[in-house]
Each structure stands twice: as structure tokens, then as C-alpha cells.
Amino acid sequence: MPDGMLASSMFLMLFGFIFLGIPVSFSLIGTAFLYGIMAFGDSLGAVLYDRVFGIATSPVLPAVPLFIFMGAMLERSAIAEKLFDVMLLWLGRLPGGLAVATIAMSAVFAAATGIIGAVEAVIGMMAIPAMMRLKYDKGLISGTICAGGSLGTIIPPSIVVIIYASIAEISIGELFAGIMIPGGLMVAFFLIYVVVRSALRPQDGPPVSREITDIPLGEKLSRTFTALVPAVALIFAVLGAILAGIASPTEAASVGAIGAVLLTVLYREFSFGLLVRSLSKTLTITAMVMLIVVGGTGFSSVFLVLGGNTLIDDVVTFLDLGPAGSVALFLFIVFLLGFVLDWVTVVLICVPLFMPILKAFNIDQIWFAVMMMIVIQTAYLTPPMAPAIFYLRTIAPPEISYRDMYIGAIPFVLLEVLVLAAVALFPSAATYLPSLMVGF
């Protein structure tokens, strides 16, 4: 069989397993094992052990369960509700005030959790009933919740960024810094779209009642200080410690985990039941992520040994795309895989395959990584296979149809594509902040 053809057939087996309903992690492990026997024979166990051990002992990965625990504590307490109420106080009178508050809240909560999906579930359960009562357009409701939930990819401390940095062996602090400007730009675009649409079509997003927002300034400031300031301070402490070089990602994540517990104590929400539920969710998500890491690492290792790198080199050479064309091709592949595979699997498969060619073309690793994060987020939101829509279906009332969800998500997908174009045309949007930092 020609070089690379056997490797390419690995994807057929992988997708076959997935479409049969086998979990992605076991599909990856099964495919890697069956093809690995052909490549390594009896030495497969030792080869895969060395590769998996090298990834598993990365100094970055221990930050994953700590950030997940931090998010789980904040998600399962009443902190999210307090933050949402404060956002509503200040933003509710704007056109589409509830949707504006939802996106702003999503941005803050994404920075506090780093977990894709968790943001959407928590915010959706609070915002959807309120928007339904005010008769918001169902498409706007759907798009707002899905887009807000997708921010967990592009706003640090995103778990996908931690996994990417570990696999690509680049600075996690620089990658966190790199996604800040694109993440802020994306939030700004979302907010502008909601306000402009609601101003032009007030029936789509009416402002909230003055009874909710017209309270004394002193009370507003007091509620803001007690609800918003501690959470934001925790976020800045965690990210600031990494970016300033004061603490490693794992050390900063430890501070975040302890800070989340202290916040629940401060808000009188702490209980041992809450702690046990948060630890249980942390264990479940971490085990899922790490099992996919094992499978993805084994899959990519076997793929490369079977000639996968030769296959990719031949495709790039045959198409004669050059640096810009190769980047576009890789991002398109990531987008297509994002329809079928979860973000961890996409990163674990694609990064080892793309890195040699990116380095050969001398393409900035941070710039490409930021664009890949945006593409993963866009695939997460793009119909018809959008995971964001499937998450929304589990919490949305029956009155909101799949059609509403698809129509509502499309404008936000276009805005994400606009951010991707901005980063592609102006690489400094991703590389400027990393060039200033001295952290990890």
C-alpha cells in the first residue's frame, strides 16, 4: 500500500466507530490499537506507553482538573445568579438588554470556568425563562445562549488552550495572552449585533422593566461590589499570576480553586454537598478529557508512523499552497473535524500533524493557535451539527424549535468568521500581547 494510504484509512475506521455510537475516546484507542499492531507488532505497548507517559507528565496538564474544579464550584453555587442580576442592573435598559446582559455574563463566567458547555447550561437556565417572558425573538434567544456558551473556547483560562499548549509545547501564558484581544473583539461584536438588531427591531429584544433597573445608585454599587468584584478579582489574580510570571499555570489554577471555595463561603453557599458534587463533576470531566488525551495521543502517534506526515507533506506539495494556503487548508480541516469530533480530539489529532509543516514555513505558532481556537469555536456553533445547539436543546423549552436555533446561530457564526478574518489579516491581534509578557 502506498505511503500514507494506510494512515489515511485510520480516519475511516475512527469515523465508523463513532457513527456506530462508540464513545470518541474508545474509538480513538481502538483504532490506534488495531493499526498500531500493524506498525509495531509486539512492541506496541512499550511505544504507546512512552508517548502517552510523555504527554501525561506534562507540567501543564495538572492545571486542567484544578480549573475544572474552580468552574464546577462557581457553576453549582449561586454566584452565577448574582453576577447575572448585576449585569441586568447595568445593561437591562439597553435595546435587547436581557440578551446583552446574557452575553456579558457569559464572558465573565467563561473566564471563571474555562469549560465549554458549562457556560451555556448555567446561563441558559437563567436567561431563557426571562427572555421568553419578555417575548424575545426565539432565534435571538437561541443565538445569544449558544454564542455566549461558545466563549469558553476563546476566553482564558480555556481548557482547550491548556491542552493545545501541552501538545504543541508552547507557552500557555503566551497563548492565554494571544486569545485575549480576539476574545474581547468577539464579545464586542456580539454585543453590537444584539444592540443594533434590537434597536432596529424592538420586538425582537425589548429592554427590561424600569422597576428592575431603576434602583438607587448606592444599592447598585453595593450589589456590584459584592457580586461582580470578587469574581473578577479572582479571574485577574489567576490570569495575572500566569501572565506576569508570578506563578505557573498549575500554581495559578490552585489559587483559583481555593478562591472559588472561598467565594462560596463568602456568599454563604458553601456546603459539603456542594463540595462533593463539584469534586464528582471534576473527576468525571477530567477522566473524560484524559481518556481522550490517551486515545488521541495514541492515534496521532500511529498515524505519523504509518506515513501520515508523508501524506500531509505530499498533499501540501502537490497543491503548492504556500504558507498562507497551507494555513487555510489546515483551518478548513479543523472546521470539518469539529463537526464530528469534540475539541480535545481535534487538537490531539491535528496539532502533531500540522506542527512540522508550520515550523517549516516559519509560521508563528501563537498566531496559528489563536486562529485554530476561533475555528474550533465556530465549528462548535455552526449548524447543523453544532454541539452548542445540542446543549441548548437539553435546556430550552419545546416552543424553541431546531429551526429557531439554526437561524439564531448563523449571525453569530458570521461574526466569529469576521474575527477570524481580522486575526488572519492582522496577526498582531494575536501576537502583540504575548510579545509583551514574561510569564509561563
Q: What is the DSSP string of 79-111?
A: HHHHHHHHHHHHHTTSTTHHHHHHHHHHHHHHH
Q: Pick the residue with more confidence: 162 or 120? A: 162
The domain ranges of the chain are 5-57+92-204+289-436
| DSSP 8-state symbol, 55 | H
Average pLDDT for 236-255: 84
Q: What is the DSSP letter of 114?
A: -
**Per mean pLDDT, which of 305-314, 381-390, 393-402 is the most reliable?**
393-402
pLDDT tens, residue by residue, 50-94: 777 776 677 777 888 888 888 888 777 777 778 888 888 888 889
Among 86-100, 160-174, 330-344, 367-381, the range of highest mean pLDDT: 367-381
Rounded Cα–Cα distance for residues 76 and 73 (Å) = 5
Answer whether residue 416 shows pLDDT above 90.
yes
Q: What is the mean pLDDT of residues 371-380?
A: 93
Backbone angles phi, psi at 134, to 5 degrees: -90, 5
Range among 21-35, 81-95, 173-187, 244-258 rated most confident: 173-187
Ramachandran angles phi, psi of 7, nearest 5° = -65, -45
Q: How far is CA 320 from the centre of its chain?
A: 32
Residue 67: per-residue pLDDT:
85
Q: Kindly report the CA angle at 183 between 329 and 130, in degrees rounded to 5? A: 120
